Amino acid sequence: MIEIIQYKPIGVIHSPFKEPKGTPIQPTAAEGIGGTVEVFPEYVEGLKDLDSFSYIILLSHFHMSKKYTLIAKPFMDTTSHGIFSIRAPSRPNSIGLSIVKLIRIEGNILHIRDVDLVDGTPLLDIKPYVPEFDIRDAGTIGWLKQNVHKLPTSKDDGRFTKTGE
């Protein structure tokens, strides 16, 4: 069994959101909100050809999340659910996934839109978004079926933040 896995950030995400509270909870609820991704110099060569994609997937570390519980109340519901059936940032491994619009690349800076991350969020990886790879027929979406309409007005309320403990 693997005991510890360590990741080294490859960059940092910059956004207008200085704290989790009030931050959109998904990129589709952050439509048009701009930000940048600063890729550290030793990884810039890996950006070759990324500018030919309209959208990218950012994998990040939710560095401001408090200790997780396996049962939690998500932002868009009043009922608690298992942590693996919600998208809360406080998780056993606090890894975030955001699909954002890539506007342009200037050196080591990626200009993006639809950013739903707090300023200073460590970047773990970047992948190109490819609809043929990434879109699936959702089938059923569990408890979210009766709550997904709340997304445009739902914001982080601080319940998963270290300072909100």
Of 15-24, 38-47, 103-112, 151-160, where does mean pLDDT reach its minimum? Answer: 151-160
Mean predicted confidence (pLDDT) in 110-133 = 96
Interval 49-99: pLDDT, tens? 999 999 999 999 999 998 899 999 888 788 999 999 988 888 999 999 999
> What percent of the chain clears pLDDT 70, i.e. is strictly above it?
97
Q: Is the pLDDT of residue 115 over 80?
A: yes
Can you give the CATH number for the domain in which 140 is found? 2.40.30.70
| Tally of residues, the chain | 165
How far is 99 from 13, CA to CA, in rounded Å? 13
Q: DSSP assignment, residue 54?
A: S
Q: Is residue 105 part of a domain?
A: yes
pLDDT at 108: 98
**Left (φ > 0), alpha (ψ -120 to 50) or beta: where does 22 sit?**
left
Beta carbons within 8 Å of 73's beta carbon, 6+ residues apart: 79, 80, 81, 159
Look at the chain and report how many structural domains it folds into.
Answer: 1
pLDDT at 95: 95
How far is 131 from 87, CA to CA, in rounded Å? 21
The beta strand positions in 53-94, using DSSP E, are 55-61, 71-72, 81-82
Residue 56 structural domain = 11-159
Q: Is residue 151 part of a domain?
A: yes
Q: Is residue 55 part of a domain?
A: yes
How far is 61 from 125, CA to CA, in rounded Å? 10
Q: Is residue 165 part of a domain?
A: no
Residue type, 136: R
Q: Is residue 164 part of a domain?
A: no
How far is 134 from 132, CA to CA, in rounded Å? 6
Give residue 165's pLDDT band: very low, low, confident or very high (50, 70, 90). Answer: very low
